[in-house]
């Protein structure tokens, strides 16, 4: 472990650290020396300034994603759960391998590979089995081998279930927010549950902002009749526009989408806006879009720049998206989301009103998006892969005795609530708090983590955690 820096930001004392972990954990054991190529693992430790010298229990935050770096807080209130957690814990914020200040993996990394199979084998090292071993190595070598508490947001909940499957002795208590995977994992099953939620979210958006039915249709007609290039050189297609719906599982996503399309056009007189105060019929929306798709209509630079930013690759998020469901020996994924989408013609880009898609990857993304093209050959190989490392142990989870408290968002667009509850019903010592008051990003407010913490404390699930710290 190397301490890189220590400093203060409003309301907290911060230390930056880095340690080495093996790229390939095969044949290596967490907590011991290892052989083979080493990569860096960066992590940040937060503490309330007045408690720096106290022996506090440690809370490990498992970031969502996949491919998400740890949060960079601005103060104790910029990420709601942090303010509450600092009252009780020393917080560890790691950058998962491949992200942030850890050994970084991006498009430029992939261009170094000439052999797609070697590139695919390399990508496999950035999934749950390796991430969890990194953290267990960190716990054993840098945190005195004391079991820590974990908080897993979204994909961090998937990592939690892997941690409890692989190293339950390392976890004293676990919290998850919107992130319990269905076990056994099946990507096709996941998308058959989530595509209807994508459709429902789109309908809710249009019901709230009916004028946007025509606005969206007009944009699509322009994209069908003109070549529209983004600032980075990518061509904006209707299919790419549909992926804006990946935000629909967060709040206030409908408002963000509405104001995005509010400034879509540079026609000057605003004639399109106010054309209808109520939801137009599908055919009327199409006719209106077609009549306005001539030379007098142009998409604004502000709109195009915003679309480019919102639909561009986020670290490893898209390249690894489907592979988080690969557990052991499976049938090849073969673009599971696309296969499910092919069963649902209503998601066609020619349908009106246009339906938006959510957290799903499609083959064309790795052709149309410049930042994804270097991943294409490796992802194509992995889509045909049938042998993966095991990430869940159903038998061990059934006998789990680590207290697990999960926030399940009833209307979650990304991780189906029914599938979450089905898994939790088969995990020992698991407790679910089901709520429809929050979307998938509820943990970033100031209520969700506090509620989970209070429920665990009131059941006595944290007595050992705090007794050890005092001892």
- Does one domain contain both 254 and 298? yes
Spell out where 48-159 has E strands: 58-62, 90-94, 148-153
Distance CA 445, CA 83 (A): 10
Torsion angles phi and psi, residue 286, rounded to 5: -65, -40
* Tokens describing residue 283: 């055919």
pLDDT at 338: 98
Residues spanned by the domain of 231? 187-383
Each residue's pLDDT tens digit in the chain (471 positions)? Answer: 799 999 999 999 999 999 999 999 999 999 999 999 999 999 999 999 999 999 999 999 999 999 999 999 999 999 999 999 999 999 999 999 999 999 999 999 999 999 999 999 999 999 999 999 999 999 999 999 999 999 999 999 999 999 999 999 999 999 999 999 999 999 999 999 999 999 999 999 999 999 999 999 999 999 999 999 999 999 999 999 999 999 999 999 999 999 999 999 987 545 554 444 444 444 444 434 444 544 568 999 999 999 999 999 777 999 999 999 999 999 999 999 999 999 999 999 999 999 999 999 999 999 999 999 999 999 999 999 999 999 999 999 999 999 999 999 999 999 999 999 999 999 999 999 999 999 999 999 999 999 999 999 999 999 999 988 775
pLDDT at 283: 42
- Are 170 and 194 found together in one domain? no
Residues 191 and 162 both lie in one domain = no
Nearest to 162 by CA among 137, 187, 130, 186: 130
Tally the C-alpha atoms within 13 A of residue 445's C-alpha that lie toward its C-beta: 14
**pLDDT at site 138:** 98
What is the C-alpha to C-alpha distance for residues 159 and 324, in angstroms, rounded to an integer? 10
Same domain, 157 and 245: no
| 356, 383, 410 - which closes a domain | 383
How far apart are alpha carbons 187 and 385 in whole angstroms?
A: 14
pLDDT of the residue at 257: 98
pLDDT confidence of residue 276? 43
Where among 383, 414, 435 does a domain terminate? 383
Decide if 19 contacts 5 (C-beta within 8 A).
Answer: no
Residues 93 and 81 in one domain: yes
Q: Could you give the number of structural domains in the chain?
A: 2
| Residues 376 and 228 sit within 8 Å (Cβ to Cβ) | no
In order of 92, 209, 211, 273, 284, the CA distances from 276 in angstroms are 52, 11, 6, 8, 11
Question: How far apart are alpha carbons 216 and 209 in whole angstroms?
Answer: 11
What pLDDT, on the 0 to 100 scale, is given for residue 469?
77
- Could you tell me if 157 and 23 lie in one domain? yes
| Separation CA 166–CA 162 (nearest Å) | 6
Residues 181 and 195 in one domain: no
Task: Say if residue 209 is in the same domain as residue 303.
Answer: yes
Confidence (pLDDT) at 34: 95
Q: Are residues 119 and 229 in the same domain?
A: no
Name the domain boundary from 352, 383, 414: 383
Angle (CA) 71-444-401 rounded to 5° is: 90
Considering the domain architecture, whether residues 334 and 402 belong to the same structural domain is answered as no
Report phi then psi at 62, rounded to 5: -100, 110
User: Rounded to an integer, what distance in angstroms lies between the CA atom of residue 295 and that of residue 297?
Assistant: 5
pLDDT of residue 314: 75
Three-class DSSP category at 303? helix
Predicted structure pTM score: 0.94
Looking at residue 452, which CATH number applies to its domain? 3.40.50.1820
**Judging by beta carbons within 10 Å of its beta carbon (0-12, 13-18, 19+), is residue 345 exposed, middle or buried?**
exposed
- Same structural domain, 115 and 169: yes
Residues 237 and 376 in one domain: yes
Cα(43)–Cα(70) distance, rounded to whole angstroms?
8
Q: Does residue 320 contact residue 127 with C-beta atoms inside 8 Å?
A: yes
- Hey, CA dihedral for 72, 74, 75, 81, is it positive or negative? negative
């Amino acid at each position: 472990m190397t301490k890189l820096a220590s400093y203060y930001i409003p309301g907290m004392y911060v230390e930056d650290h880095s340690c080495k972990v093996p790229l390939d954990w095969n044949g290596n054991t967490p907590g011991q020396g290892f052989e083979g190529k080493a990569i860096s693992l960066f992590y940040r430790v937060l503490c309330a300034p007045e408690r720096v010298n106290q022996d506090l229990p440690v809370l490990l935050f498992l970031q969502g994603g996949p491919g998400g770096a740890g949060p960079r807080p601005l103060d104790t209130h910029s990420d709601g759960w942090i303010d509450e957690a600092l009252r009780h814990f020393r917080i560890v914020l790691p950058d998962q391998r491949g992200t942030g200040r850890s050994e970084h993996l991006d498009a430029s990394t992939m261009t170094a590979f000439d052999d797609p199979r070697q590139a695919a084998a390399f990508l496999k090292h950035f999934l749950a089995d390796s991430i969890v071993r990194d953290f267990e190595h960190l716990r054993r070598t840098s945190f005195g081998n004391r079991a820590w508490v974990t908080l897993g947001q979204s994909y961090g909940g998937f990592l939690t279930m892997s941690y409890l499957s692989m190293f339950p002795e390392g976890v004293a208590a676990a919290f998850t927010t919107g992130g319990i995977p269905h076990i056994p994992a099946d990507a096709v099953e996941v998308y058959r549950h989530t595509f209807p939620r994508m459709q429902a979210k789109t309908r809710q958006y249009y019901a709230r902002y009916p004028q946007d039915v025509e606005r969206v249709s007009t944009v699509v007609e322009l994209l069908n009749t003109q070549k529209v290039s983004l600032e980075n050189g990518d061509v904006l297609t209707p299919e790419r526009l549909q992926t804006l719906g990946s935000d629909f599982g967060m709040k206030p996503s409908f408002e963000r989408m509405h104001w995005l399309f509010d400034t879509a056009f540079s026609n000057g007189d605003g004639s399109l806006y106010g054309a209808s105060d109520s939801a137009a019929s599908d055919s009327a929306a199409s006719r209106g879009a077609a009549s306005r798709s001539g030379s007098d209509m142009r998409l604004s630079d502000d709109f195009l720049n915003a679309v480019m930013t919102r639909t561009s690759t986020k670290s490893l998020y898209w390249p690894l998206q489907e592979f988080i469901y690969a557990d052991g020996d499976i049938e090849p994924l073969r673009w599971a989301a696309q296969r499910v989408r092919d069963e649902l013609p209503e998601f066609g880009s020619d349908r009106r009103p246009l339906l938006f898609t959510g957290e799903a990857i499609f083959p064309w993304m790795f052709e149309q998006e410049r930042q994804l093209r270097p991943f294409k050959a490796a992802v194509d190989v992995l889509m045909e892969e049938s042998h993966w490392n095991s990430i869940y142990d159903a038998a061990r989870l059934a006998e789990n005795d680590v207290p697990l408290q999960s926030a399940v968002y009833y209307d979650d667009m990304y991780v189906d609530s029914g599938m979450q509850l089905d898994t939790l019903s088969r995990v020992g010592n698991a407790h679910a708090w089901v709520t429809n008051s929050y979307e998938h990003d509820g943990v970033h407010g100031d209520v969700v983590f506090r509620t989970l913490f209070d429920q665990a404390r009131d059941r006595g699930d944290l007595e050992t955690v705090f007794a050890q710290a005092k001892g």
